[in-house]
């Protein structure tokens, strides 16, 4: 089977899952966290090299203070608990987004995990945190504009490759496959530039219920696609 090098996932449906099971939203997020580890293990098993997870968007800051606080504490707890396992399984952690907006304790735990796993090579896990793709592209354009303003760059030197080097994902391969759970048919300001030629797979399954069967079905769907990249 043709396995994608890089899978990106919009992990949607924790809240709806909790409602269906008559549980609090926090319980939905808790079960969603368990799915993250399950998918990481599946990626290792299948030989996927990069996994990017849309963990917290810039828009998510608009949720209730109680929910945001819970999510930040859950992130901190997840990183602390999973660091030994990441080391054991040779997983390298990365993070993209407006990380300065995270609480200090989260940034410190995140930095510690990133530093500790820097030498690992089996799977790269990228957490998109306080991330918004329009904001990312705008910031990249602003940096190039500053270079033009100072005379170190001329406008005709700006290429897609040069702009790509200004994005959070510089040096990372673009996703080959993007999976979204919960059936929503949109990409929600996620990797707008990087998903240009990704194959999209949408599943109605809510994120806490996403497991081996759904993951393997997405891989089968990807393997059956003929990727033309606009050439024919």
Secondary structure element (H or E) that encloses residue 73, with its range: helix 65-88
Is 90 one of the catalytic residues?
A: no
Point out the catalytic residue in the list 60, 120, 174, 189: 60
**How far apart (Å, rounded) are the C-alpha atoms in residues 116 and 84?**
10
Ramachandran class of 148: left when φ > 0, alpha when ψ lies in -120 to 50, beta otherwise: alpha
Phi, psi torsion values for 103, nearest 5 degrees: -60, 150
Task: Check 12, 76, 176, 209 and give the catalytic one.
Answer: 12
Given strand 50-57, what is the order of strands in its sheet?
Answer: 91-96, 123-131, 50-57, 6-10, 177-180, 199-202
For the beta carbon of residue 102, count every other beta carbon within 10 angstroms.
Answer: 20
Q: Is 156 a catalytic residue?
A: no
| Catalytic annotation, residues | 12, 60
């Amino acid at each position: 089977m043709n396995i994608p090098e890089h899978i990106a996932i919009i992990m949607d449906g924790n809240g709806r899952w909790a409602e269906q099971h008559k549980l609090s939203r926090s319980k939905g997020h808790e079960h969603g966290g368990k799915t993250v580890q399950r998918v990481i293990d599946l990626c290792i098993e299948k030989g996927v090299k990069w996994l990017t997870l849309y963990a917290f968007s810039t828009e998510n800051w608009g949720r209730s203070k109680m929910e945001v606080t819970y999510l930040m504490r859950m992130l901190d707890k997840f990183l602390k608990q999973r660091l030994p396992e990441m080391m054991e399984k040779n997983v390298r952690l990365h993070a993209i987004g407006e990380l300065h907006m995270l609480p200090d304790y989260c940034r410190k735990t995140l930095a510690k995990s990133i530093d500790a796993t820097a030498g690992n090579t089996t799977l790269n896990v990228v957490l998109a945190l306080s991330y918004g793709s329009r904001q990312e592209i705008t910031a990249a354009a602003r940096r190039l504009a500053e270079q033009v303003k100072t005379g170190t760059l001329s406008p005709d030197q700006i290429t897609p490759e040069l702009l790509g080097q200004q994005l959070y994902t510089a040096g990372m391969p673009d996703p080959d496959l993007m999976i979204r759970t919960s059936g929503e048919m949109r990409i929600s300001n996620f990797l707008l530039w990087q998903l240009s030629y990704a194959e999209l797979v949408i599943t109605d399954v809510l994120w806490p219920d996403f497991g081996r069967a759904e993951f393997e079905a997405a891989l089968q769907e990807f393997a059956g696609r003929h990727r033309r990249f606009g050439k024919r």
